[in-house]
Protein backbone atom coordinates (compact mmCIF):
# COMPACT_ATOMS: atom_id res chain seq x y z
CA UNK A 1 0.00 0.00 0.00
CA UNK A 2 2.83 2.34 0.87
CA UNK A 3 4.52 1.65 -2.50
CA UNK A 4 1.31 2.57 -4.33
CA UNK A 5 1.07 5.83 -2.40
CA UNK A 6 4.68 6.66 -3.18
CA UNK A 7 4.16 5.99 -6.90
CA UNK A 8 0.99 8.11 -6.87
CA UNK A 9 2.83 10.90 -5.09
CA UNK A 10 5.70 10.85 -7.60
CA UNK A 11 3.22 10.86 -10.49
CA UNK A 12 1.44 13.87 -9.00
CA UNK A 13 4.72 15.74 -8.61
CA UNK A 14 5.70 15.04 -12.21
CA UNK A 15 2.24 16.00 -13.49
CA UNK A 16 2.32 19.17 -11.43
CA UNK A 17 5.74 20.03 -12.85
CA UNK A 18 4.51 19.49 -16.41
CA UNK A 19 1.50 21.71 -15.71
CA UNK A 20 3.70 24.48 -14.23
CA UNK A 21 6.08 24.39 -17.20
CA UNK A 22 3.32 24.39 -19.81
CA UNK A 23 0.68 26.61 -18.25
CA UNK A 24 2.61 28.98 -16.04
CA UNK A 25 6.28 29.06 -17.07
CA UNK A 26 5.56 28.36 -20.72
CA UNK A 27 5.20 31.97 -21.87
CA UNK A 28 8.50 32.98 -20.28
CA UNK A 29 10.28 30.00 -21.88
CA UNK A 30 8.84 30.86 -25.29
CA UNK A 31 10.14 34.42 -24.91
CA UNK A 32 13.58 33.15 -23.89
CA UNK A 33 13.69 30.78 -26.86
CA UNK A 34 12.56 33.56 -29.18
CA UNK A 35 15.28 35.81 -27.77
CA UNK A 36 17.91 33.13 -28.41
CA UNK A 37 16.87 32.70 -32.02
CA UNK A 38 16.10 36.34 -32.80
CA UNK A 39 18.13 39.54 -32.77
CA UNK A 40 16.85 43.12 -32.72
CA UNK A 41 18.40 46.28 -34.08
CA UNK A 42 16.82 49.38 -32.50
CA UNK A 43 15.24 52.00 -34.71
CA UNK A 44 15.62 55.23 -32.77
CA UNK A 45 12.74 57.67 -32.95
CA UNK A 46 13.64 61.10 -34.24
CA UNK A 47 13.33 63.65 -31.43
CA UNK A 48 10.79 66.37 -32.08
CA UNK A 49 12.06 69.73 -33.29
CA UNK A 50 11.86 72.87 -31.20
CA UNK A 51 11.00 75.94 -33.23
CA UNK A 52 10.64 79.61 -32.39
CA UNK A 53 7.37 81.46 -32.94
CA UNK A 54 8.34 82.19 -36.58
CA UNK A 55 9.13 78.56 -37.42
CA UNK A 56 12.93 78.74 -37.18
CA UNK A 57 14.48 75.55 -35.81
CA UNK A 58 16.29 76.24 -32.53
CA UNK A 59 16.76 72.59 -31.53
CA UNK A 60 17.04 69.98 -34.27
CA UNK A 61 18.70 66.67 -35.12
CA UNK A 62 21.73 65.56 -37.09
CA UNK A 63 21.54 62.08 -38.62
CA UNK A 64 24.14 59.97 -36.81
CA UNK A 65 24.43 56.26 -36.12
CA UNK A 66 25.27 53.69 -33.48
CA UNK A 67 27.56 50.79 -34.46
CA UNK A 68 26.90 47.34 -32.96
CA UNK A 69 28.91 44.14 -33.17
CA UNK A 70 27.67 40.60 -32.50
CA UNK A 71 30.93 38.87 -31.46
CA UNK A 72 29.71 35.34 -32.30
CA UNK A 73 28.95 36.39 -35.86
CA UNK A 74 32.43 37.86 -36.51
CA UNK A 75 34.82 35.40 -38.18
CA UNK A 76 38.01 37.51 -38.09
CA UNK A 77 38.00 39.73 -35.00
CA UNK A 78 41.42 41.23 -35.76
CA UNK A 79 40.29 42.42 -39.16
CA UNK A 80 36.95 43.59 -37.76
CA UNK A 81 38.60 45.62 -34.98
CA UNK A 82 41.11 47.17 -37.37
CA UNK A 83 38.41 48.12 -39.87
CA UNK A 84 36.20 49.71 -37.23
CA UNK A 85 39.12 51.58 -35.66
CA UNK A 86 40.28 52.88 -39.03
CA UNK A 87 36.83 54.03 -40.16
CA UNK A 88 35.77 55.61 -36.87
CA UNK A 89 39.12 56.85 -35.56
CA UNK A 90 39.09 54.58 -32.49
CA UNK A 91 41.80 52.67 -30.66
CA UNK A 92 42.14 49.26 -32.34
CA UNK A 93 43.15 47.38 -29.19
CA UNK A 94 40.19 48.78 -27.26
CA UNK A 95 37.80 47.75 -30.04
CA UNK A 96 39.32 44.27 -30.20
CA UNK A 97 38.89 43.76 -26.47
CA UNK A 98 35.30 44.94 -26.65
CA UNK A 99 34.27 42.62 -29.50
CA UNK A 100 36.15 39.66 -27.94
CA UNK A 101 34.15 39.63 -24.74
CA UNK A 102 32.58 36.31 -23.84
CA UNK A 103 28.99 35.75 -22.79
CA UNK A 104 27.52 38.76 -24.62
CA UNK A 105 25.34 38.61 -27.69
CA UNK A 106 25.94 42.20 -28.75
CA UNK A 107 28.19 45.15 -27.90
CA UNK A 108 27.86 48.81 -28.81
CA UNK A 109 31.16 49.91 -30.30
CA UNK A 110 30.32 53.58 -30.91
CA UNK A 111 27.39 55.98 -30.81
CA UNK A 112 26.63 59.26 -32.58
CA UNK A 113 28.86 58.36 -35.52
CA UNK A 114 28.72 60.66 -38.54
CA UNK A 115 27.09 59.27 -41.69
CA UNK A 116 30.32 59.59 -43.69
CA UNK A 117 32.26 57.44 -41.22
CA UNK A 118 29.54 54.78 -41.25
CA UNK A 119 29.71 54.67 -45.06
CA UNK A 120 33.44 53.87 -44.81
CA UNK A 121 32.66 50.98 -42.48
CA UNK A 122 29.79 49.67 -44.60
CA UNK A 123 32.20 49.46 -47.54
CA UNK A 124 34.24 46.91 -45.55
CA UNK A 125 31.24 44.52 -45.62
CA UNK A 126 31.97 42.75 -42.33
CA UNK A 127 29.61 40.06 -41.03
CA UNK A 128 28.36 40.71 -37.51
CA UNK A 129 28.57 44.52 -37.74
CA UNK A 130 25.27 46.40 -37.65
CA UNK A 131 24.12 50.02 -37.69
CA UNK A 132 21.16 51.98 -36.35
CA UNK A 133 20.28 55.63 -36.56
CA UNK A 134 20.54 57.29 -33.15
CA UNK A 135 20.36 61.04 -33.95
CA UNK A 136 22.45 63.76 -32.35
CA UNK A 137 20.75 66.86 -30.98
CA UNK A 138 21.87 69.99 -32.80
CA UNK A 139 21.36 73.58 -31.67
CA UNK A 140 21.78 75.98 -34.62
CA UNK A 141 22.14 79.06 -32.40
CA UNK A 142 24.81 77.64 -30.08
CA UNK A 143 24.63 79.33 -26.69
CA UNK A 144 21.48 81.35 -27.37
CA UNK A 145 18.64 80.42 -25.00
CA UNK A 146 20.83 77.68 -23.49
CA UNK A 147 19.40 77.87 -19.94
CA UNK A 148 15.88 77.68 -21.32
CA UNK A 149 16.28 74.93 -23.90
CA UNK A 150 18.51 72.73 -21.74
CA UNK A 151 20.16 69.65 -23.25
CA UNK A 152 19.76 65.91 -23.74
CA UNK A 153 21.68 62.82 -22.63
CA UNK A 154 23.64 60.58 -24.99
CA UNK A 155 20.54 58.41 -25.40
CA UNK A 156 18.50 61.43 -26.48
CA UNK A 157 16.32 61.96 -23.40
CA UNK A 158 15.90 65.43 -21.92
CA UNK A 159 18.12 66.27 -18.93
CA UNK A 160 17.37 69.92 -18.26
CA UNK A 161 15.33 72.92 -19.38
CA UNK A 162 12.50 72.54 -21.86
CA UNK A 163 14.17 69.43 -23.28
CA UNK A 164 13.31 67.78 -19.95
CA UNK A 165 10.05 69.61 -19.23
CA UNK A 166 8.52 68.56 -22.58
CA UNK A 167 10.44 65.28 -22.94
CA UNK A 168 7.25 63.23 -23.17
CA UNK A 169 6.20 65.24 -26.23
CA UNK A 170 9.61 65.39 -27.88
CA UNK A 171 10.98 61.88 -27.32
CA UNK A 172 8.68 59.70 -29.44
CA UNK A 173 8.74 55.87 -29.35
CA UNK A 174 11.57 53.68 -30.63
CA UNK A 175 11.00 50.84 -33.11
CA UNK A 176 13.12 47.82 -34.06
CA UNK A 177 14.26 45.51 -36.85
CA UNK A 178 14.07 41.85 -35.78
CA UNK A 179 15.52 38.89 -37.70
CA UNK A 180 16.30 35.20 -36.97
CA UNK A 181 19.75 33.84 -36.12
CA UNK A 182 21.25 30.50 -35.20
CA UNK A 183 22.01 29.56 -31.60
CA UNK A 184 25.33 31.46 -31.56
CA UNK A 185 23.84 34.63 -33.01
CA UNK A 186 24.83 34.28 -36.68
CA UNK A 187 22.15 35.52 -39.04
CA UNK A 188 20.53 32.58 -40.82
CA UNK A 189 20.24 32.35 -44.58
CA UNK A 190 16.99 33.81 -45.88
CA UNK A 191 16.29 35.15 -42.38
CA UNK A 192 12.83 36.52 -41.82
CA UNK A 193 12.92 40.23 -41.05
CA UNK A 194 10.25 42.02 -39.03
CA UNK A 195 10.27 45.83 -39.06
CA UNK A 196 8.50 47.87 -36.37
CA UNK A 197 8.81 51.55 -37.35
CA UNK A 198 9.67 54.21 -34.82
CA UNK A 199 7.15 56.89 -33.90
CA UNK A 200 8.93 60.23 -34.07
CA UNK A 201 8.45 62.79 -31.31
CA UNK A 202 6.17 65.78 -31.68
CA UNK A 203 7.63 69.13 -32.65
CA UNK A 204 6.87 72.10 -30.46
CA UNK A 205 6.76 75.82 -31.13
CA UNK A 206 7.93 78.27 -28.48
CA UNK A 207 6.73 81.79 -27.81
CA UNK A 208 10.34 82.93 -28.21
CA UNK A 209 11.28 85.08 -31.20
CA UNK A 210 14.79 83.97 -32.19
CA UNK A 211 15.58 87.35 -33.77
CA UNK A 212 14.69 89.24 -30.59
CA UNK A 213 16.53 86.62 -28.55
CA UNK A 214 19.74 87.07 -30.54
CA UNK A 215 19.48 90.85 -30.36
CA UNK A 216 18.97 90.75 -26.58
CA UNK A 217 21.85 88.28 -26.22
CA UNK A 218 24.17 90.66 -28.04
CA UNK A 219 23.13 93.64 -25.92
CA UNK A 220 23.56 91.74 -22.67
CA UNK A 221 26.93 90.36 -23.73
CA UNK A 222 28.14 93.91 -24.33
CA UNK A 223 26.79 95.07 -20.95
CA UNK A 224 28.44 92.13 -19.19
CA UNK A 225 31.91 92.97 -20.49
CA UNK A 226 31.62 96.77 -20.43
CA UNK A 227 30.42 96.81 -16.81
CA UNK A 228 32.60 94.00 -15.52
CA UNK A 229 29.43 92.47 -14.05
CA UNK A 230 29.13 89.17 -12.26
CA UNK A 231 26.09 88.28 -14.37
CA UNK A 232 23.43 89.95 -16.51
CA UNK A 233 19.88 88.97 -17.42
CA UNK A 234 17.11 90.13 -19.71
CA UNK A 235 13.54 88.99 -20.20
CA UNK A 236 11.30 90.34 -22.97
CA UNK A 237 7.62 89.46 -22.94
CA UNK A 238 4.38 90.41 -24.62
CA UNK A 239 2.48 92.23 -21.85
CA UNK A 240 -0.84 91.45 -23.51
CA UNK A 241 -0.42 87.66 -23.26
CA UNK A 242 2.68 87.10 -21.07
CA UNK A 243 4.31 85.11 -23.88
CA UNK A 244 8.08 85.08 -23.35
CA UNK A 245 9.74 86.59 -26.44
CA UNK A 246 13.34 86.41 -25.19
CA UNK A 247 15.09 85.23 -22.07
CA UNK A 248 18.81 85.83 -21.58
CA UNK A 249 21.16 84.80 -18.78
CA UNK A 250 24.83 85.60 -19.31
CA UNK A 251 27.45 84.16 -18.97
CA UNK A 252 26.25 81.08 -20.78
CA UNK A 253 27.59 78.04 -22.68
CA UNK A 254 27.34 76.41 -26.11
CA UNK A 255 24.60 73.78 -26.23
CA UNK A 256 26.62 71.92 -28.87
CA UNK A 257 29.58 71.66 -26.49
CA UNK A 258 28.08 71.23 -23.01
CA UNK A 259 30.80 71.25 -20.28
CA UNK A 260 29.61 67.98 -18.75
CA UNK A 261 33.06 67.20 -17.37
CA UNK A 262 32.91 70.21 -15.03
CA UNK A 263 29.79 69.79 -12.90
CA UNK A 264 30.21 72.98 -10.88
CA UNK A 265 30.70 75.11 -13.98
CA UNK A 266 27.76 73.49 -15.75
CA UNK A 267 25.46 73.98 -12.76
CA UNK A 268 26.43 77.65 -12.56
CA UNK A 269 26.05 78.37 -16.28
CA UNK A 270 22.85 76.38 -16.77
CA UNK A 271 20.79 78.17 -14.08
CA UNK A 272 17.85 80.03 -15.53
CA UNK A 273 18.38 82.79 -12.98
CA UNK A 274 15.36 84.86 -14.03
CA UNK A 275 13.12 81.96 -12.99
CA UNK A 276 14.94 80.09 -10.22
CA UNK A 277 16.89 82.80 -8.35
CA UNK A 278 15.57 85.61 -6.15
CA UNK A 279 16.86 89.09 -5.29
CA UNK A 280 15.77 92.35 -3.66
CA UNK A 281 14.29 94.39 -6.51
CA UNK A 282 14.80 97.88 -5.14
CA UNK A 283 13.07 100.79 -6.85
CA UNK A 284 11.57 98.85 -9.76
CA UNK A 285 9.17 97.53 -7.11
CA UNK A 286 7.75 101.06 -6.73
CA UNK A 287 5.62 100.28 -9.79
CA UNK A 288 3.61 97.88 -7.61
CA UNK A 289 3.32 100.31 -4.70
CA UNK A 290 2.15 103.06 -7.05
CA UNK A 291 -0.36 100.71 -8.70
CA UNK A 292 -1.84 99.79 -5.30
CA UNK A 293 -2.13 103.44 -4.27
CA UNK A 294 -3.81 104.54 -7.52
CA UNK A 295 -6.27 101.65 -7.45
CA UNK A 296 -7.19 102.27 -3.82
CA UNK A 297 -7.63 105.99 -4.54
CA UNK A 298 -10.01 105.21 -7.40
CA UNK A 299 -11.94 102.87 -5.08
CA UNK A 300 -12.39 105.74 -2.64
CA UNK A 301 -10.06 104.46 0.09
CA UNK A 302 -9.22 107.50 2.23
CA UNK A 303 -5.88 105.94 3.18
CA UNK A 304 -4.66 106.24 -0.40
CA UNK A 305 -3.01 109.35 -1.82
CA UNK A 306 -4.48 111.12 -4.82
CA UNK A 307 -2.28 111.70 -7.89
CA UNK A 308 -2.32 115.42 -6.97
CA UNK A 309 -1.25 114.87 -3.36
CA UNK A 310 1.94 116.70 -2.37
CA UNK A 311 4.22 114.47 -0.31
CA UNK A 312 6.32 115.75 2.56
CA UNK A 313 9.48 117.09 0.94
CA UNK A 314 11.76 115.89 3.74
CA UNK A 315 14.38 113.44 2.47
CA UNK A 316 14.02 111.19 5.53
CA UNK A 317 11.38 109.24 7.44
CA UNK A 318 11.75 107.77 10.91
CA UNK A 319 9.93 104.46 11.41
CA UNK A 320 10.27 102.25 14.49
CA UNK A 321 13.50 103.97 15.40
CA UNK A 322 15.04 103.44 11.96
CA UNK A 323 15.73 106.20 9.46
CA UNK A 324 14.78 105.82 5.82
CA UNK A 325 16.63 108.14 3.47
CA UNK A 326 16.19 109.20 -0.11
CA UNK A 327 19.15 108.58 -2.41
CA UNK A 328 19.09 112.27 -3.45
CA UNK A 329 20.74 115.02 -1.41
CA UNK A 330 17.92 117.44 -2.39
CA UNK A 331 20.18 119.84 -4.17
CA UNK A 332 18.29 122.65 -5.84
CA UNK A 333 15.14 121.56 -4.01
CA UNK A 334 14.74 118.68 -6.45
CA UNK A 335 12.25 116.81 -4.28
CA UNK A 336 10.16 119.71 -3.11
CA UNK A 337 6.41 119.51 -3.67
CA UNK A 338 6.40 116.01 -5.12
CA UNK A 339 3.31 114.36 -6.52
CA UNK A 340 3.22 110.59 -7.10
CA UNK A 341 4.38 111.12 -10.67
CA UNK A 342 7.33 113.21 -9.48
CA UNK A 343 8.14 110.64 -6.80
CA UNK A 344 8.36 107.99 -9.53
CA UNK A 345 10.49 110.29 -11.69
CA UNK A 346 12.89 110.98 -8.82
CA UNK A 347 12.59 107.48 -7.28
CA UNK A 348 12.06 109.01 -3.84
CA UNK A 349 12.02 106.28 -1.17
CA UNK A 350 10.24 108.28 1.58
CA UNK A 351 7.18 108.88 -0.63
CA UNK A 352 6.68 105.15 -1.18
CA UNK A 353 7.26 104.54 2.50
CA UNK A 354 4.34 106.92 3.15
CA UNK A 355 2.12 105.00 0.72
CA UNK A 356 2.85 101.55 2.16
CA UNK A 357 2.33 102.69 5.76
CA UNK A 358 -0.85 104.55 4.90
CA UNK A 359 -2.39 101.59 3.04
CA UNK A 360 -1.49 99.24 5.89
CA UNK A 361 -0.30 95.65 6.02
CA UNK A 362 -3.57 93.96 5.07
CA UNK A 363 -4.25 96.08 2.00
CA UNK A 364 -0.63 96.11 0.85
CA UNK A 365 -0.26 92.35 1.23
CA UNK A 366 -3.49 91.90 -0.68
CA UNK A 367 -1.87 93.60 -3.66
CA UNK A 368 1.37 91.68 -3.26
CA UNK A 369 -0.63 88.47 -3.50
CA UNK A 370 -2.70 89.70 -6.44
CA UNK A 371 0.47 90.64 -8.33
CA UNK A 372 1.87 87.15 -7.78
CA UNK A 373 4.54 87.75 -5.15
CA UNK A 374 5.16 84.94 -2.67
CA UNK A 375 3.93 82.37 -5.18
CA UNK A 376 4.99 80.81 -8.48
CA UNK A 377 3.77 82.37 -11.71
CA UNK A 378 3.02 78.95 -13.19
CA UNK A 379 5.45 79.19 -16.10
CA UNK A 380 6.12 75.93 -17.95
CA UNK A 381 9.61 75.49 -16.56
CA UNK A 382 10.89 73.37 -13.67
CA UNK A 383 12.36 74.78 -10.47
CA UNK A 384 10.57 78.13 -10.38
CA UNK A 385 11.23 79.97 -7.10
CA UNK A 386 8.37 81.45 -5.05
CA UNK A 387 10.28 84.50 -3.84
CA UNK A 388 10.36 85.60 -0.23
CA UNK A 389 7.83 87.56 1.79
CA UNK A 390 7.71 88.03 5.54
CA UNK A 391 4.72 86.29 7.11
CA UNK A 392 2.00 88.93 7.23
CA UNK A 393 1.50 88.49 10.98
CA UNK A 394 5.15 89.31 11.63
CA UNK A 395 5.40 92.50 9.55
CA UNK A 396 6.41 95.58 11.56
CA UNK A 397 5.96 99.15 10.37
CA UNK A 398 9.66 99.42 9.53
CA UNK A 399 9.34 96.27 7.38
CA UNK A 400 6.26 97.56 5.58
CA UNK A 401 7.95 100.91 5.03
CA UNK A 402 10.89 99.27 3.27
CA UNK A 403 8.67 96.99 1.21
CA UNK A 404 7.13 100.12 -0.26
CA UNK A 405 10.36 100.85 -2.13
CA UNK A 406 11.51 97.29 -2.81
CA UNK A 407 13.48 96.21 0.23
CA UNK A 408 12.67 93.43 2.75
CA UNK A 409 11.13 91.50 -0.13
CA UNK A 410 12.76 89.10 -2.59
CA UNK A 411 11.41 88.23 -6.03
CA UNK A 412 12.38 86.42 -9.20
CA UNK A 413 12.97 88.43 -12.34
CA UNK A 414 10.03 86.65 -13.94
CA UNK A 415 7.69 87.56 -11.06
CA UNK A 416 8.66 91.21 -11.31
CA UNK A 417 8.31 91.34 -15.09
CA UNK A 418 4.86 89.72 -14.95
CA UNK A 419 3.70 92.02 -12.15
CA UNK A 420 4.85 95.10 -14.07
CA UNK A 421 3.17 93.84 -17.24
CA UNK A 422 -0.14 93.41 -15.39
CA UNK A 423 0.22 96.88 -13.91
CA UNK A 424 0.46 98.58 -17.33
CA UNK A 425 -1.56 96.33 -19.67
CA UNK A 426 -4.96 97.20 -18.27
CA UNK A 427 -4.64 95.17 -15.08
CA UNK A 428 -4.67 91.63 -16.51
CA UNK A 429 -2.37 89.00 -15.00
CA UNK A 430 -1.80 86.01 -17.29
CA UNK A 431 0.12 82.78 -16.75
CA UNK A 432 3.50 83.33 -18.43
CA UNK A 433 4.53 80.62 -20.87
CA UNK A 434 7.20 79.41 -23.25
CA UNK A 435 5.09 76.92 -25.22
CA UNK A 436 3.12 78.45 -28.06
CA UNK A 437 1.94 75.28 -29.81
CA UNK A 438 2.41 71.57 -30.53
CA UNK A 439 2.46 70.00 -33.99
CA UNK A 440 -0.39 67.61 -34.70
CA UNK A 441 -0.19 64.50 -36.90
CA UNK A 442 -0.61 66.69 -39.96
CA UNK A 443 2.36 68.83 -38.91
CA UNK A 444 0.18 71.89 -38.28
CA UNK A 445 0.78 73.58 -34.94
CA UNK A 446 -2.14 73.79 -32.56
CA UNK A 447 -1.61 76.95 -30.54
CA UNK A 448 -2.02 77.20 -26.78
CA UNK A 449 -4.38 79.97 -25.69
CA UNK A 450 -3.35 82.55 -23.06
CA UNK A 451 -4.71 81.86 -19.57
CA UNK A 452 -5.98 84.88 -17.61
CA UNK A 453 -5.11 84.36 -13.97
CA UNK A 454 -6.65 87.43 -12.37
CA UNK A 455 -7.61 91.09 -12.69
CA UNK A 456 -5.23 92.97 -10.41
CA UNK A 457 -6.18 96.62 -10.98
CA UNK A 458 -8.67 98.51 -13.10
CA UNK A 459 -8.00 99.73 -16.63
CA UNK A 460 -8.19 103.32 -15.41
CA UNK A 461 -5.57 102.77 -12.71
CA UNK A 462 -3.35 100.98 -15.22
CA UNK A 463 -3.66 103.81 -17.74
CA UNK A 464 -2.78 106.43 -15.13
CA UNK A 465 0.24 104.45 -13.97
CA UNK A 466 1.51 103.91 -17.52
CA UNK A 467 1.36 107.66 -18.16
CA UNK A 468 3.38 108.32 -15.01
CA UNK A 469 5.97 105.73 -16.01
CA UNK A 470 6.28 107.33 -19.44
CA UNK A 471 7.18 110.49 -17.56
CA UNK A 472 9.98 108.61 -15.77
CA UNK A 473 11.60 108.03 -19.18
CA UNK A 474 10.91 111.42 -20.74
CA UNK A 475 11.91 113.55 -17.76
CA UNK A 476 12.95 111.36 -14.81
CA UNK A 477 15.55 108.80 -13.81
CA UNK A 478 14.87 106.65 -16.88
CA UNK A 479 15.98 109.21 -19.47
CA UNK A 480 18.65 106.89 -20.80
CA UNK A 481 15.91 104.60 -22.12
CA UNK A 482 14.23 107.38 -24.10
CA UNK A 483 13.83 106.77 -27.85
CA UNK A 484 12.90 109.72 -30.05
CA UNK A 485 9.53 109.20 -31.72
CA UNK A 486 8.44 106.30 -29.49
CA UNK A 487 6.45 106.24 -26.26
CA UNK A 488 8.56 104.33 -23.76
CA UNK A 489 7.68 103.94 -20.11
CA UNK A 490 9.73 102.41 -17.34
CA UNK A 491 11.32 102.47 -13.92
CA UNK A 492 14.92 102.27 -12.74
CA UNK A 493 16.17 100.29 -9.76
CA UNK A 494 19.39 100.08 -7.76
CA UNK A 495 19.41 97.58 -4.90
CA UNK A 496 22.15 96.87 -2.40
CA UNK A 497 23.10 93.22 -1.99
CA UNK A 498 23.26 91.41 1.33
CA UNK A 499 25.77 88.78 2.45
CA UNK A 500 25.45 86.93 5.75
CA UNK A 501 22.58 89.24 6.73
CA UNK A 502 24.62 92.40 6.25
CA UNK A 503 24.88 94.94 3.45
CA UNK A 504 27.67 93.91 1.09
CA UNK A 505 29.69 97.09 0.60
CA UNK A 506 30.02 98.07 -3.04
CA UNK A 507 27.77 95.29 -4.37
CA UNK A 508 24.56 96.23 -6.18
CA UNK A 509 21.93 94.86 -8.54
CA UNK A 510 21.11 97.50 -11.15
CA UNK A 511 17.88 97.11 -13.07
CA UNK A 512 15.33 98.69 -15.35
CA UNK A 513 11.81 97.69 -16.38
CA UNK A 514 10.63 99.29 -19.60
CA UNK A 515 7.73 98.93 -22.01
CA UNK A 516 6.45 100.43 -25.25
CA UNK A 517 4.27 101.89 -26.64
CA UNK A 518 3.37 103.20 -23.20
CA UNK A 519 -0.28 103.81 -24.13
CA UNK A 520 -0.79 100.28 -25.55
CA UNK A 521 2.17 98.10 -24.49
CA UNK A 522 3.36 95.44 -26.93
CA UNK A 523 6.83 94.77 -25.52
CA UNK A 524 8.12 94.79 -21.95
CA UNK A 525 11.70 94.16 -20.89
CA UNK A 526 13.42 93.70 -17.54
CA UNK A 527 17.17 94.20 -17.47
CA UNK A 528 19.23 93.19 -14.40
CA UNK A 529 22.96 93.72 -13.97
CA UNK A 530 24.49 91.89 -11.01
CA UNK A 531 27.44 93.64 -9.35
CA UNK A 532 28.46 96.12 -12.05
CA UNK A 533 31.86 97.70 -11.49
CA UNK A 534 32.24 101.48 -11.50
CA UNK A 535 28.89 103.11 -12.32
CA UNK A 536 26.12 101.06 -10.69
CA UNK A 537 22.86 103.03 -10.83
CA UNK A 538 20.08 101.38 -12.81
CA UNK A 539 19.62 104.67 -14.66
CA UNK A 540 23.17 104.57 -16.05
CA UNK A 541 23.74 100.81 -16.39
CA UNK A 542 20.42 99.05 -17.11
CA UNK A 543 18.29 101.76 -18.76
CA UNK A 544 20.63 102.19 -21.78
CA UNK A 545 20.60 98.40 -22.27
CA UNK A 546 16.80 98.40 -22.38
CA UNK A 547 16.93 101.19 -24.94
CA UNK A 548 19.25 99.08 -27.12
CA UNK A 549 16.95 96.06 -26.87
CA UNK A 550 13.92 98.17 -27.79
CA UNK A 551 15.75 99.78 -30.72
CA UNK A 552 16.60 96.31 -32.00
CA UNK A 553 12.95 95.26 -31.78
CA UNK A 554 11.88 98.45 -33.57
CA UNK A 555 14.30 97.67 -36.41
CA UNK A 556 13.39 93.97 -36.60
CA UNK A 557 9.63 94.60 -36.60
CA UNK A 558 9.85 97.77 -38.69
CA UNK A 559 7.80 99.69 -36.11
CA UNK A 560 7.13 103.22 -37.29
CA UNK A 561 7.38 106.17 -34.88
CA UNK A 562 4.20 107.82 -33.72
CA UNK A 563 3.15 111.03 -35.43
- The answer to which of 27-31, 112-116, 345-349, 354-358 has the lowest mean pLDDT is 27-31
Name the pairing type of β-strands 502-516 and 316-319: unpaired
The interaxial angle of helices 538-557 and 210-227, nearest 10 deg, is 150
**Beta-carbon count within 10 A of 527 CB:** 35
88 and 219, same domain (yes or no) = no
Q: Are strands 193-196 and 175-180 parallel, antiparallel or unpaired?
A: antiparallel
**What secondary structure does DSSP assign to 395-416, as a single string?**
--HHHHHHHTTT-S-BB-HHHH
pLDDT confidence of residue 341? 96
Rounded to the nearest 10 degrees, what angle do helices 413-424 and 286-298 cross at?
30
Considering only residues 193 and 563, tell me which one the structure prediction assigns the higher pLDDT. Answer: 563
- 247 has pLDDT over 50: yes
Q: Tell me whether residue 156 is in a domain.
A: no
Instruction: Please pick, among 66, 203, 233, 283, the residue that the annotation labels catalytic.
Output: 283
CATH of the domain at 83: 3.90.1310.10
Domain check: are 332 and 471 in the same one? yes
Chain centroid offset of residue 32 CA: 45
**What are the start-end ranges of the H helices in 151-240?**
161-165, 167-170, 210-227
pTM of the model: 0.87
Q: Assess whether 129 and 234 both reside in one domain.
A: no
**CB–CB of 428/452 below 8 Å?**
yes
203 belongs to a structural domain: no
Please report the pLDDT score of residue 501 as a whole number: 74
Q: Which of helix, strand or coil describes residue 109?
A: strand
Q: What is the mean pLDDT of the chain?
A: 89
Determine the Cα angle at 165 with ends 159 and 168, to 5°. 90
**C-beta separation of 150 from 162 below 8 A:** yes
Structure-model confidence comparison of residues 13 and 71, the more confident one: 71
What is the dihedral sign for C-alpha 111, 113, 115, 116?
A: negative
In a domain, 388, yes or no: yes
Burial of 415 (0-12, 13-18, 19+ CB in 10 A): buried
Domain boundary among 117, 138, 159: 138
Q: Could you count the other beta carbons within 10 Å of the beta carbon of residue 336? A: 11
The residue among 43 and 375 whose pLDDT is bigger is: 375
Does the residue 188 lie in any domain?
no
**Count of domains for the chain:** 2
Burial class from Cβ neighbours inside 10 Å (0-12, 13-18, 19+) for residue 72 reads: middle
- Tell me what percent of the residues of the chain surpass a pLDDT of 70: 88
> Is residue 4 annotated as part of the catalytic site, yes or no?
no
112 and 258 belong to one structural domain = no
Instruction: Report the pLDDT value the prediction gives residue 20, as an integer from 0 to 100.
Output: 55
Residue 38 lies in a domain: no
Tens of pLDDT along 281-333?
Answer: 999 999 999 999 999 999 999 999 999 999 988 888 999 988 998 876 544 44
Residues 128 and 254 in one domain: no
- The answer to whether residues 96 and 242 belong to one domain is no
Same domain, 352 and 490: yes
Q: Describe the chain by its helix, strand, coil percentages, rounded to 5.
A: 40, 25, 35
In tens, the pLDDT along 499-540 reads 777 778 889 999 999 999 999 999 999 999 999 999 999 999
User: Is 55 contained in some domain?
Assistant: no
- The yes-or-no verdict on residue 18 having pLDDT over 80 is no
More confident residue, 122 or 547: 547
For residue 174, is pLDDT > 50? yes
In a shared domain, residues 238 and 114: no
- Give the pLDDT confidence score for residue 330 in this predicted structure: 44
CATH number of the domain within which 436 lies: 3.40.710.10
pLDDT band for position 422 (cuts 50, 70, 90) = very high
Same domain, 127 and 219: no
Instruction: Identify the domain containing residue 134 by its residue range.
Output: 61-138
pLDDT at 26 over 70: no
Is 473's pLDDT higher than 50? yes
530 within 8 A of 232, measured Cβ to Cβ: yes
5 within some domain: no
Reply yes or no on whether the pLDDT at 361 is more than 80: yes
Query: Is 130 in the same domain as 226?
Result: no
Q: What is the DSSP letter of 60?
A: E
Write down the pLDDT at residue 13: 63
Residues 272 and 361 both lie in one domain = yes
For residue 337, what is the enclosing H or E element?
none
Considering the domain boundaries, does residue 435 fall inside one? yes
Domain ends where: 80, 105, 138? 138
Instruction: Give residue 555's pLDDT band: very low, low, confident or very high (50, 70, 90).
Output: very high
Predicted local confidence at residue 181, as pLDDT: 57
CA distance 15 to 5: 15
Q: Are residues 229 and 93 in the same domain?
A: no
Amino acid sequence: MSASLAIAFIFCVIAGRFFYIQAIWGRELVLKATDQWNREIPVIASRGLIRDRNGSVIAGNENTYSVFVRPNAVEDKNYCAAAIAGALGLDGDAVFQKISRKGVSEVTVAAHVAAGDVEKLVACDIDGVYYARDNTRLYPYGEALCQVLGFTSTDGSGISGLEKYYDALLSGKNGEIMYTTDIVGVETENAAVVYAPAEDGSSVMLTVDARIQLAAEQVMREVYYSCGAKAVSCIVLDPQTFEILALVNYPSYDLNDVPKDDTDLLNALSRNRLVVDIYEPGSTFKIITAAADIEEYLKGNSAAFSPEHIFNSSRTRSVDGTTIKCWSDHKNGKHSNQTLAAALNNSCNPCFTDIALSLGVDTFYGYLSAFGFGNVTGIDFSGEAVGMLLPQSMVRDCDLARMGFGQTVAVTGLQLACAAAAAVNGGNYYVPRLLKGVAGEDGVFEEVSPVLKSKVISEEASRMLAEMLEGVVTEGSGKNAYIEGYKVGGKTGTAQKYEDGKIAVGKYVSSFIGFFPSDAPEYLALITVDEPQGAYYGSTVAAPAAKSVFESIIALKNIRPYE
